[in-house]
Amino acid sequence: MEIGARAVIFGNVVGVDAPHGAVVTDAGRIVWVGARADVPPDYSAWPQHDMQGRLITPAFIDCHTHIIHGGHRAREFEMRLQGASYEAVARAGGGIVSTVTATRAADEDALVAQALPRLDALLAEGVSCVEVKSGYGLDVETELRMLRAARRLGRERTVRVRTSFLGAHAVPAEFAGRADAYIDEVCIPALRAAHAEGLVDAVDGFLEGIGFDNNQIARVFDVACALGLPVKLHAEQLSHMGGCALATKYGALSADHVEYATDADAALLAASGTVAVLLPGAFYTIRETQMPPIAAFRAHGVPMALATDCNPGSSPLTSLLLAMNMGCTLFRLTPDEALRGLTEHAARALGLKDTGRIAVGLRADLAIWNVETPAELAYRIGFNPLHQRVFGGLT
């Protein structure tokens, strides 16, 4: 059943306090939402689409991915199975730096071609918007190539793409032991060049013992702020290094991973409005045992998003439905929390105010499911119940 520019869609609408809801769309926007019995007569002549009680949610948003990259790291998967830690693999020359070689060797067409199957897997699960990071180039030329490839994804498919410059992801081999020089000579010049070319929506960094320290990230963030770009941060993933404090100092859109965040960090995130992006795929893949402080986030009212963290090393995950299940099973989120994490809070983590909810005036980005409740979305494993994806009012 094709949905056109104008439509009245009946179903079990998330957020409507009635067993039978309706969403009315026009020219890509939601113009009315409520109980089916209350649909204004003005819309009675518009095309009607009865979804037979199916669940209607906002379309999913994957707010943290690294889907642009060359190669894979299956060998490191084997190493971890044999007992090597994520940090040990990185220090042995694997990890992020090992993907750099493959990414530098790939031209833009190759990067796009390799990313499209990953993107298609996400779209098949009702995704309307994907964040894509750079960070596997670690030189000016390749960082720009990654961002150009990311922009192309939004032209190759019906999806919104938000880009994050992640030049401060790792120190490349040619700058080993000279992280400060890398920040000054490569990362910041690449950021300025990418911004000048219109390739950057936000700036990210990896604050960790195997990444960069607070002062180095702060120098990158200072440039981002001068350029008028919002920031986000890989924070407190493998240890506690003050990432949440630094992120909130800069009013970051999000702090991501946050396994080692504390109650005090939760208070800072809540005060700044910074979203905690939970990444259970990485937690699962590297067999982490330190859980994010979910109770503290709840107590302080920190918005919690969920994402795949799709990347070749620590989270080769291309399913937000599985991320939803993992968020509930591993982190004990409720299905409603997980759904909000993939929609409303994911939009907030990207600074988007026109999507992520079913509300008048927002984009008509919807997912229609062959289920009745969010709990059924969350509990299945390896099963995709998507009935239809609506992007900007159209299927």
User: Pick the residue with more confidence: 95 or 174?
Assistant: 174
82 a known binding residue?
A: no
Instruction: For Cα atoms 88, 91, 92, give the angle at the middle one, nearest 5 degrees.
Output: 85
Is the distance from CB of 58 to CB of 375 less than 8 angstroms?
no
136 is in an annotated binding site: yes
Task: Name the CATH code of domain 60-350 (choices 3.10.520.10, 3.30.390.10, 3.20.20.140, 3.30.2080.10).
Answer: 3.20.20.140
- H or E element in which residue 25 lies: strand 21-26
Q: Which CATH class is domain 7-59+356-390?
A: mainly beta
Domain ranges of the chain: 7-59+356-390, 60-350
Task: Judge whether 215 is annotated as a binding position.
Answer: no
Amino acid at 82: Q
300 assigned ligand-binding residue:
no
pLDDT at 75: 81
309 known ligand binder: yes
pLDDT of residue 1: 67
> Measured in Å, how far apart are the chain's first and last C-alpha atoms?
9
pLDDT digits (tens, 9 = 90+) for 97-152: 789 999 999 999 999 999 999 999 999 999 999 999 999 999 999 999 999 999 99
State yes or no: 243 annotated in a binding site.
no
195 in a known ligand binding site: no
Q: Is 240 annotated as a binding residue?
A: no
107 is in an annotated binding site: no
Which pTM does this prediction carry? 0.96
Write the pLDDT tens digit of every residue in 214-227: 999 999 999 999 99
What distance in Å separates the CA atoms of residue 13 and residue 56, rounded to the nearest whole number?
Answer: 5
- CB distance 34 to 249 below 8 Å: no
**Residue 250 annotated as part of some ligand binding site:** no
Q: Quick check: 251 pLDDT over 90?
A: yes
**Is 234 annotated as contributing to ligand binding?**
yes
CB of 254 closer than 8 Å to CB of 274 = yes
The Cα 337–Cα 355 span in angstroms is: 17
